[in-house]
Structure 1
Amino acid sequence: MGRKRTASGGTPATVALANAGIDFGTHPYAHDPASELSYGLEAAAALGVPAEVVFKTLVARVDGLPGQGLAVAILPVAETLDLKALAQALGQKKATMADPAAAQRSSGYVTGGISPIGQRTALPTVIDATAQELPLMYVSGGRRGFDISLAPQDLAQVTHGRFEPITTHLNRSR
Structure 2
Amino acid sequence: MSKTTPATVALTKAGVAFELFAYDYDPDAPRVGLQAAQAVGKAPEQVFKTLMTLVDGAPACVIAPSDCEISMKKLAAAIGGKSAQMMKPADAERLTGYKVGGVSPFGQRKTVPTVMDETAVLFDQILINGGQRGLLLGVAPEAAARAAGARLVDIKA
- Length, aligned pairs only: 155
How far, CA to CA, are the matches of 2:148 and 2:112 in structure 1? 8
Residue of structure 2 aligned with 1:58, choices 45, 51, 70: 51
Residue of structure 2 aligned with 1:127, choices 116, 123, 127: 116
How far, CA to CA, are the matches of 1:42 and 1:139 in structure 2? 13
Structure 1 residue runs without a partner (length 5+): 1-8, 169-174
Q: Does 1:32 align with 2:26?
A: yes
Task: Quote the residue 1:20 is aligned against.
Answer: 14
Identity of matched residues, %: 43
Q: Does 1:152 align with 2:152?
A: no
Counting only pairs closer than 5 Å after superposition, residues 25-174 of structure 1 correspond to structure 2 as 25-34=19-28, 36-63=29-56, 69-168=58-157
| TM-score of the aligned structures, taking structure 1 as reference length | 0.86
| CA displacement, residues 111-140 of structure 1 (integer Å, 9 cap, x when unaligned) | 011001110111100000111221110000
Q: Which runs of 4+ in 1 moved over 4 A?
A: none
| TM-score of the aligned structures, taking structure 2 as reference length | 0.95
**Residue 147 of structure 1: CA displacement?**
0.3
How far, CA to CA, are the matches of 1:32 and 1:110 in structure 2? 14
After superposition, the CA RMSD in angstroms is 1.2
**Residue 37 of structure 1: CA displacement?**
3.7
AA aligned to 1:31 is Y
How far, CA to CA, are the matches of 2:122 and 2:43 in structure 1? 14
Structure number with greater CO (CA < 8 Å, separation at least 6) is 2
3-state DSSP of counterpart to 2:104: coil
Task: Quote the residue 1:5 is aligned against.
Answer: none
How far, CA to CA, are the matches of 1:33 and 1:165 in structure 2? 29
Structure 2 residue runs without a partner (length 5+): none
How far, CA to CA, are the matches of 2:12 and 2:100 in structure 1? 23
